[in-house]
Amino acid sequence: MKTEKLIVILGPTASGKSALGVKLAKKFNGEIISADSRQVYRGLNLASGKISKREIESVHHFCLDVTSLKNHYTAMQWKKCAESAIRKIVKKNKIPIIIGGTAFYINALINNALIPEVKPNWKLRKELDEKTINELFRLLEKLDPRRAKTIEKDNPRRIIRAIEIVKQTGKPVPEFKPGLRDDFEVLILGVRRSKEKLKNLIAARLKKRLKLGMVNEIKKLRASGTSWKRLEELGLEPRWIARFLQNTISKPEMKSGIIRDSLKFVRHQMSWWKKDNRIRWINSQNSAEKLTKHFLN
């Protein structure tokens, strides 16, 4: 692939990335590639913050709804999906715009990380499934201390996958280093919000999703065969709603748990990005448009 222009919009959860991306896509003839590890799953809509048909505003989106919750979608699978989408978008003489909050996915693409295509080891996974989240994390710390520093500590699915890669390759999970890719010219826009603003946005978004039927969405997924364990693995909204539906917590506890974990997730996201000096941090649509216009000219 020859050198092409590529725009990335990243930032913490609930910061308004999706809406900004649609506006830029419409203004600059772009199409969007989702970089969200939960939005790849069909049926997980409100609980993953997936953009609605109305919000899409006819802008083509790629890498949404690509697999079933019965499967575990890997960063390497997403990277292939994104690269395929980029080729299709460029062929139409449009601008690819990557939008999402999954730092691991975005770094895999723009830094061209060679993630080992390790097949699932079901025997190992069964053994690891019996461990607590703390036991899993301590094991990863021993096997790959560097990856343990950047991984979501309360995401057993990610931790198990990292352990699986290390055990089957005998090597640490590949490290992402800025600037390795030379077939894209990349503009990385980071949406910045104050801590107080983000907390308010997260609370408002939760209220809206609950009103739209997020609890019923998880009920339907459970009724269609998704296990409680699988919902727990997904973290954030699915995890806390699953606990509420099993009557282990109250509705207020569910809400506070989602907000608390969302804020914790924000801190995790920012720890990835604060070390990357390529990111142009913005706090308005106007500044995003100015930077994009300058980049494309």
pTM: 0.83
pLDDT tens, residue by residue, 159-180: 988 899 999 888 888 776 655 5
pLDDT at 1: 44
Query: For residue 34, how many C-alpha atoms fall within 13 Å in the half-sphere facing its CB?
Result: 22
Report which DSSP code applies to 199: H
3-state secondary structure of 11: coil
Nearest to 120 by CA among 129, 112, 111: 129
| DSSP codes, 82-127 | HHHHHHHHHHTT-EEEEEES-HHHHHHHHTT-----PPP-HHHHHH
Provide the residue type at 75 as one letter.
A
Lowest mean pLDDT among 34-48, 78-92, 174-188: 174-188
Q: Domains plus CATH for the chain?
A: 116-173 (1.10.20.140), 195-266 (1.10.287.890)
Contact 109, 83 (CB under 8 A): yes
Output the CA angle 81-84-89, nearest 5 degrees: 120
Q: What's the pLDDT tens digit per position in 25-38?
A: 999 999 999 999 99
